[in-house]
Each structure stands twice: as C-alpha cells, then as structure tokens.
Amino acid sequence: MDDLTLSNAGRWLLNRRSFLQHTGTGLGHIALLSLLAKQGLLAAEKDRSPIRPSIRPEAPLGARPPHFAPKAKRVLVLFCSGACSHLETWDYKPELIKRHGQPMPGSDKLITFQGENGNLSQSPYEFKPRGQSGKYISELVPNLAALADELCFIHSMTAKSNTHGPGENQMSTGFTLDGFPSMGAWISYALGTEADDLPAFVAIPDPRGVPQTGPNNWSAGFLPAVFQGTAFNADKPIPNLATPKEISATADRSTREFLKFLNGEHLRKNPGDTELSARIASYELAAKMQLRAAEVSDLSGESAATKELYGVNDANKVKAAFGRNCILARRLLERGVRFVQLFNGSYAMGEGVGNWDGHKTLKQQYDVHGPILDQPAAALLKDLKARGLLSDTLVVWVTEFGRMPTFQKGASGRDHNPKGFTTWLTGAGVKRAFSYGATDEFGYQAVENVATIYDLHATILHLLGLDHERLTFYHNGTERRLTDVHGEVIREILA
C-alpha cells in the first residue's frame, strides 16, 4: 500500500508521503473556506429563510430595523406616467440622426402595440453635453440636465408588458397583474416609519388626475391594509380633517382619549386579530393627521425664494400645481415619511393629453409635458441636497416602458417599447455621474448589462438595508416577495 498502512490495532494510518500531501491540500482548503466565509458564500451563511418583521399590533407602523446597515432611510419615486420616451430625454443616439428617415435594419413591416412602424426618426430635441461629466441630455429637460453630474443612469432597463396598465403595475408592484402589494407597501411592511403622526407611505397623484391603474400603484395587495399608501396632493389634501367649529379643542382631545381606551380594551380581548389592530391604527393615525397632515399640506410658510425655485407661481397652472406637489414631497420626506411616490402625468384627460403617451404628435405633446416636469423636479433635487436630505434619501425616476426609434406608420409619434428604456437614481448609496448598460445604436433594445424591473426593485431594497430574497409574506401557500423569484442587486451602480 502506497498511502495507507494497517496498524497492529487494526486502524488505517497515513504514511509519511500521504501525510505531507494531505497537509498541503488541507491548508489550501482552509484558505478557501476563509475566503468564502468572508464573502458570505458558505452554505450555512447563505440562509434564504424569510425574515419576518416584528410588527407590534398596537403600532404596526412603528419603526423597525433593516436586515443590514442601510445607505438610505427613505425613498422618493418620481413616476412619469404614459411611458416617457428615453429617446427624447436621456438616451442620446447619434445613429438616429445619421439614419433619420431610413428603414430600421431588420424591421421590415414591424408590428408593435398600435400597428405597423415607419422609418427611423431622430428626436426633435437637441442633445447637448452637460456638466463636468459631459453626459448628453436633451434640451427638453434643461433644468434636470444641469444636474447630470448628480445622476446615475440605467440605460438598459426592460419591462414585461407593452401595455400601460400592466406596465404601471410591474413598475410599482413587480407584477403585471392586479392585486399585488406596491413597492411602498413592501417597504412600509418591512421598516415602518419614523413619523408617528403621518403615514409611512404617501402617493401624490398628478394635478390632472391619477395614473391609469390608479390605486394599484399604492395598494397593499395581500399585505395588511395598514401598509397601503395614503393618496393626496398639495391642492387636494386629505378630506374631512378639519374639526367642526362647534367642537372645542378640549372636547375633541377628550373624545380621542376615550376612544383610544375603548379600542385598547377591544384589542386586548381579541389578541392576534391583525385586521382589528390595523383598523385601530388607521383610525388613530387619522386622528393624529387631523393635526399634522393639515400642517404638512400648508405651503404658506414656504419662502418666496422656494416658491420661485419650484415654479409655483408659473402662469402654467398645471406646472404650478406640480411644483406644489414637489414641495409637498420634500416636506413629507423631511418629516420622516418612509416612501413617497410622486406622479407626473395622468390618464384623466385622455391619451397623450395629460401624460407622456406620445403616439401621434409627440413633439406637440412633449412641448407641454417637458416644462411641467422639468423645473419643479429639478428644484426638488436641489432643495433636498441643500437641506442635507439627499445624503440619506434615495430618489428614483421611472416610467413604465420606453418608445420605439421609429415613428408609427402615418403618425408623428413613437409606439410602446418595453425592450429597452432608461431609469435614473440619485442620492443615498448610488454613484454620481454614472451610466450603466446600453441600448443598441437606435435605442430599440437593451444590449449591454440588460436590467429588469426586478433588478431595480432588488437594488432599492438593498439600499434600504433589505435582502429582497428574504423579505417575504406568506400568502395562499406561497412565500411572496416584491421581486417574485427573480432579481439581482445592480452592484455596479452602488457607491
């Protein structure tokens, strides 16, 4: 025997050569295990069991710790409804200029959402290099373009649907179907809020109305109802908050304290009833909001310079109203609201009129929408930074999908395109003046570092200190999560 010998006791023993061989390889194994342990790749450390947030029935929105140290404490999502074209805003394509009016190679009689496509069409808006980074951004959004050095672009985003409703659903909930919890609801479920007198999650609809799928964008789905978003805007605050004149402040306070006592007794007799605790918490929050929400919606105390910055005195009434919504978003964030979803664009006024759905007369429509978005949104970013909020606030700009590089047959606008579009982020935990991924030379489809909405959601949760694979809720026999069974953190964009 070369490696083993049999001892008098009947045990197999290593000979000298085998001992030296195994000692050498063993040291290598130890080193490998040490490296794997440091990277959290050992099987024992790759636990994927759910992490259930510890939710107190009497305070379901109380602040809760994340899974690991976060970079961001709160999130603002700016959602441009109607599929804002990446080719008119963020994604510069010189080849579109070069081949303007020519057929797109390989797309003979290409049929998309609304029918046959025509030839390639350059953007009607000029792109210019911006900031120290020289990032090319369209003249449609000059104020946002001036902030290019603050932004982190994902140019290779893809979606699962080319229809507005399912597309909105996926961007807000991770699923194209109705009935799933929104991103803000998941985050409220996981982390609660630092504000005990305001909702954890506020949705601010566009001044012109709600997006196509409306409350689906801020629904709690199958999560407890207390985690759904509260929807109001600067011009339409939450109704019925004012105390009637005939009720004194003392009587009002005494009534609330008595109701709190009765509700507490009822909850004590029905332990574990989450619907009851959620209902009580909602009523108590509504009572607190009688005092606080009216104050947060009152912009009269804002300085003249701030109002000028946001454009709230603009002759364009819709732009002025969106400016007020942007101030409201800042006021909510600085008062501890965990998740704010701010909408730009509405379907209440018909296709293309109140939103970014530029099928037929893209330039005519975008000439309206661009100024409404640009100054107020840029002011919001500048104001957050000036107040020190951007260091621990994550801001994410999204739309449901992109647009075709061709104009539709017989029209002067672009059809729906989920194969490649742009989102951007700024603030806590992301690189500045950075671009990730790319679409092809025409902006038709993502070809470099292709990203999904699942990846975007996973990254947002990661920046909040949440593991998207372990933040789950058991529903109908399945451990549900925001990212379904997909998604990877886009680590390349992390600062």
Q: Considering 263, 278, 298, which residue would you say is the last residue of a domain? A: 298
Whole-number Å distance between alpha carbons of 228 and 126: 41
Q: Which candidate, 173, 275, 169, places its Cα nearest to that of 224?
A: 275
Q: Are 410 and 314 part of one and the same domain?
A: yes
Q: What is the pLDDT of residue 463?
A: 98
Burial category of 74 from C-beta neighbours within 10 Å (exposed 0-12, middle 13-18, buried 19 and up): buried
Helix (H, G, I), strand (E, B) or coil at 394: strand
pLDDT for 43 beyond 50: no
Q: Are residues 313 and 450 in the same domain?
A: yes
Burial class, 476, CB count within 10 angstroms (exposed 0-12 / middle 13-18 / buried 19+):
exposed
The pLDDT, as a whole number, for residue 276 is 81
Residue type, 410: G
Least confident of 6-20, 167-181, 334-348: 6-20
Decide if pLDDT at 21 tops 90.
no
140 shares a domain with 266: no
Average pLDDT of the segment spanning 79-105: 97
Domain count, the chain: 3
Task: Please indicate, yes or no, if residue 426 is contained in any of the structural domains.
Answer: yes
For residues 222 and 249, state if they share a domain. no
Is 443 in contact with 435 (CB distance < 8 Å)? no
195 and 253 both lie in a single domain:
no
Question: Looking at per-residue confidence, does 85 or 13 come out higher?
Answer: 85
pLDDT of residue 391: 97
CB 207 within 8 A of CB 68: no
Residue 142: domain span: 74-234+301-493
Instruction: Render pLDDT for 412-453 as a digit per residue (tens, 0 to 9).
Output: 999 999 999 999 999 999 999 999 999 999 999 999 999 999
Listed in sequence order, the residues at least 6 apart from 318 whose beta carbon sits closer than 8 Å to its beta carbon are 207, 208, 372
Percent of the chain, pLDDT > 70? 88
Q: Which of 164-178, 214-228, 274-288 has the lowest mean pLDDT?
A: 274-288
Angle between helices 317-334 and 274-297 in degrees, nearest 10 = 120
pLDDT of 384 over the 80 cut: yes
User: What is the per-residue pLDDT for 256?
Assistant: 78
The shares of helix, strand and coil residues in the chain, as percent rounded to the nearest 5, are 35, 20, 45
State the pLDDT confidence band at 352, using cuts at 50, 70 and 90.
low
367 pLDDT above the threshold of 90: yes
CATH number (domain holding residue 90): 3.40.720.10
26 part of a folded domain: yes
Counting Cβ atoms within 10 Å, is residue 251 exposed (0-12), middle (13-18) or buried (19+)?
Answer: exposed
Q: What pTM value is reported for the model?
A: 0.85
Asked whether residue 102 falls in the same domain as residue 39, the answer is no
DSSP, res 118: E
Least reliable range by pLDDT among 214-228, 241-255, 378-392: 241-255
Q: Are 200 and 333 in contact (CB under 8 A)?
A: no
At residue 283, the pLDDT reads: 74
Q: Are residues 136 and 253 in the same domain?
A: no
Question: 156 with 450: CB under 8 angstroms?
Answer: yes
Average pLDDT over residues 11-31: 59
Q: Is 13 in contact with 4 (CB distance < 8 Å)?
A: yes
Residue 55 lies in a domain: no
3-state secondary structure of 111: strand
DSSP state, residue 241: -
Task: Please determine, for residue 25, whether its predicted confidence score (pLDDT) is greater than 80.
Answer: no
pLDDT beyond 60 at 34: no
Q: Has residue 135 been placed in a domain?
A: yes
Angle at the Cα of 146 (from 140 to 152), degrees rounded to 5? Answer: 95
Q: Is the pLDDT of residue 19 over 90?
A: no
The residue among 252 and 10 whose pLDDT is bigger is 252
pLDDT of the residue at 29: 58
CA angle 357, 159, 177 (to 5 degrees): 90
DSSP SS3 for 202: strand
- Return the pLDDT at 24: 61
**Residue 62 maps to a domain:** no
For the chain, percent of residues with pLDDT exceeding 90: 69
Same domain assignment for residues 106 and 195: yes
Looking at the fold, whether 338 and 471 belong to one and the same domain comes out as yes
- pLDDT bin (cut points 50, 70, 90) of residue 193 is very high
Q: Around Cβ 360, how many Cβ atoms within 10 Å?
A: 16
Are residues 191 and 229 located together in one domain of the fold? yes
Is 52 part of a structural domain of the chain? no
| pLDDT recorded at residue 4 | 47
State the distance between the two ends of the chain, measured CA to CA, in whole angstroms: 58
For residue 396, pLDDT beyond 60: yes
Token pair recorded at residue 183: 């991103």
CA 201 – CA 286 distance, rounded (Å): 14
- The neighbouring-strand residues paired with 434 are 152
Are 224 and 313 members of one domain? yes
Residues 333 and 215 in one domain: yes
| Residue 26 pLDDT | 60
- 51 inside domain: no
Q: Per-residue pLDDT for 9 more than 50?
A: no
pLDDT at 32: 63
Q: How far apart are CA 493 and CA 270, in angstroms?
A: 48
Is residue 66 domain-resident? no
117, 415 in Cβ contact below 8 A?
yes
pLDDT, one tens digit per residue, over 194-210 is: 888 889 999 999 999 99
Q: 10 Å Cβ neighbour count for 387?
A: 13
CB 395 within 8 A of CB 384: yes
